[in-house]
Chain A
């Protein structure tokens, strides 16, 4: 099925551990995004990639890094996980950078 695929769906990390969240889209979209969703705080942009080869910080980038591996794939890395990074992470994409997103199904991350 066409869309945005995120892996893993669930993850529990210990404080200080690292991990990479993977995202891939098969819709030939140019722009890709990583958001986190927390109760009472809505969706907040972590990083985005306007096109292959470019990445920029969003609203809450501290503690994260990203890689736009190719046009399809955009990964999010937590170098040293903290309990404050417990959240649901969504990857999204859009064809041209304007208009609505297609979201993945999310990764539920718990840092203990």
Chain B
């Protein structure tokens, strides 16, 4: 069983919809939680970075971490066609040796005009 499981998708929504992307994990040592966006044939780009539990908001994006349930989410409000991409969750323990992240497999999102 993988340490990080991500909803596989694909996900298709109309423009303006609220999108919810989710990951679960099994390693209780994970303390750092990241979301990356990856456009087709490009490298991943860091979107959100959260330490421990709670919410973090950045514009239309909100990251939530629930460590008691080992569940993280990324919400996208007022989704735009430019949000169409693959979204990767990633996690890292606090006592990591050199910041090795464990990634989910990604959820591909399409936002239709």
Contacts and interface: CB of A to CB of B under 8 A. Distances in A.
Interface in B32-59: 32, 34, 36, 41-46, 49
Chain A CB within 10 A, most for which of B88, B94, B96, B103: B103
A58 B34 contact: no
Interface residues of A, number: 28
B97 A50 contact: yes
A100 B98 contact: no
**Which secondary structure dominates chain B's binding surface?**
loop
Contacts of A7: none
A99 interface: yes
Interface string A30-72: 0101000000111101001111001010100000000000000
A20 interface: no
B49 to A, nearest CB: 5
A42 B106 contact: yes
Contacts of A31: 98-99
B96 A98 contact: yes
Contacts of A48: 98-100
Contacts of A49: 98
Interface residues of B, number: 24
Contacts of B106: 42
B34 A100 contact: yes
A49 to B, nearest CB: 7
A51 B99 CA distance: 11
21 contacts: A33-B99, A33-B100, A41-B105, A42-B88, A42-B103, A50-B98, A50-B99, A51-B98, A90-B44, A97-B96, A97-B97, A97-B98, A98-B92, A99-B34, A99-B92, A100-B36, A100-B46, A100-B49, A101-B34, A101-B101, A102-B46
Interface of B: 32, 34, 36, 41-46, 49, 88, 90, 92, 94, 96-101, 103-106
Interface of A: 4, 31, 33, 40-43, 45, 48-51, 54, 56, 58, 90, 94, 96-106
